[in-house]
Chains A and B, each alone.
Chain A
Amino acid sequence: MVEQVTHPEGSTVVIEVWSDLGCPWCYLGKHWLQTAIAQRQDADRFKIVMRSFELNPAAPKEPETIERALIRAHGGTAAHVMQAERQIQGIARKEGLEFTLDRLSANTFDLHRIVQYANDEGRGFEFFSRVQDGFFAGTLNPYDPDALADVAESGGLDGQRVRAILARNEYADRLRADRREGLELGATGVPFVVLDRRVAAPGAQKVSVYGRLLEQVAGLVPSERVS
């Protein structure tokens, strides 16, 4: 049984989320984690910190359809891979989330370098979340440097700095270190959520599970925000 050592009331609880863009479960898991947090009266206590986890560092730079990418990487038929995608789409839609099947797949190394910059500015999770939402809604091409710069600027970051980072090789070591640390901590599935460096949840967990983990690290509070 887990030892119930909770933070002092009102103190900040850090939740680290190792995630990658192409990972549909990272998108759903984020929604479920945020829902669990929002159900608590003390939701403002929780700070989500984005950690980079490139699932496929060898992915090509040139974007291709997810159908083509999945078949090339994992085999199978178009019918099989798209059927699986539609299963996830069904779950996402039940949650009220947009989830287009017309997504592009490519290397996410450059995106994660910008995530690292955004982390330095205290906005890594917010930046990644905006990119992720636009990507799954089909309204954003995350492999377009100008699109990333626009998202950054809309979130209060410096678009020119984003372009400069993309033109060089900044933050490469940092994102690789993130991935390495996630593996060392025992990430057997992505998303990989670590709460207060005490409790870990590999894979996308249901709202109720995340809720219990929040209670474990931050204590039980009345859920008055639940309508």
Chain B
Amino acid sequence: MSKPKSGLQFVAAPASGWCEPGTGVCHIGTTDEAASAEAIDETDDVSDRPGTRSDEHRRRRSPSTR
């Protein structure tokens, strides 16, 4: 935990994903990226998905999700 000026104590655990307050750009946490790649491999409607190979997903780091 860290303690910023607001007096709040902030959780130190990495988020699974978040959207940036300033830009609205969203990101997926690196620790969840591999899991999400596996998850999409299990879905039914991915045949038309570009770049569907899971190893391609795993190579990417903190991708923007918006």
Taking Cβ atoms with an 8 Å cutoff, the residues of A that contact B are: 1-2, 20, 22-26, 28-29, 32, 53, 55-56, 70, 73-74, 76, 79, 81-91, 93-94, 182-192, 194, 197-206, 209, 213
Task: Name B's interface SS.
Answer: loop
Choose from B4, B21, B65 the contact partner of A24 (Cβ within 8 Å): B65
Taking Cβ atoms with an 8 Å cutoff, the residues of B that contact A are: 1, 4-6, 8-11, 13, 15-21, 23-26, 28-29, 32-33, 35-43, 46, 49-51, 57, 63-66
Judge whether B63 and A84 touch: CB under 8 Å: yes
Judge whether A25 and B18 touch: CB under 8 Å: yes
Complexed CA–CA distance, A201 and B1 (Å): 10
Judge whether A84 and B28 touch: CB under 8 Å: yes
Judge whether A185 and B26 touch: CB under 8 Å: no
Complexed CA–CA distance, A82 and B64 (Å): 11
Judge whether A87 and B15 touch: CB under 8 Å: no
Which of B21, B35, B40, B46 has the largest count of A CB atoms less than 10 A from its CB? B21
Q: List 8 A-B contacts (CB under 8 A).
A: A28-B17, A74-B23, A79-B50, A86-B43, A90-B36, A184-B6, A194-B8, A203-B16
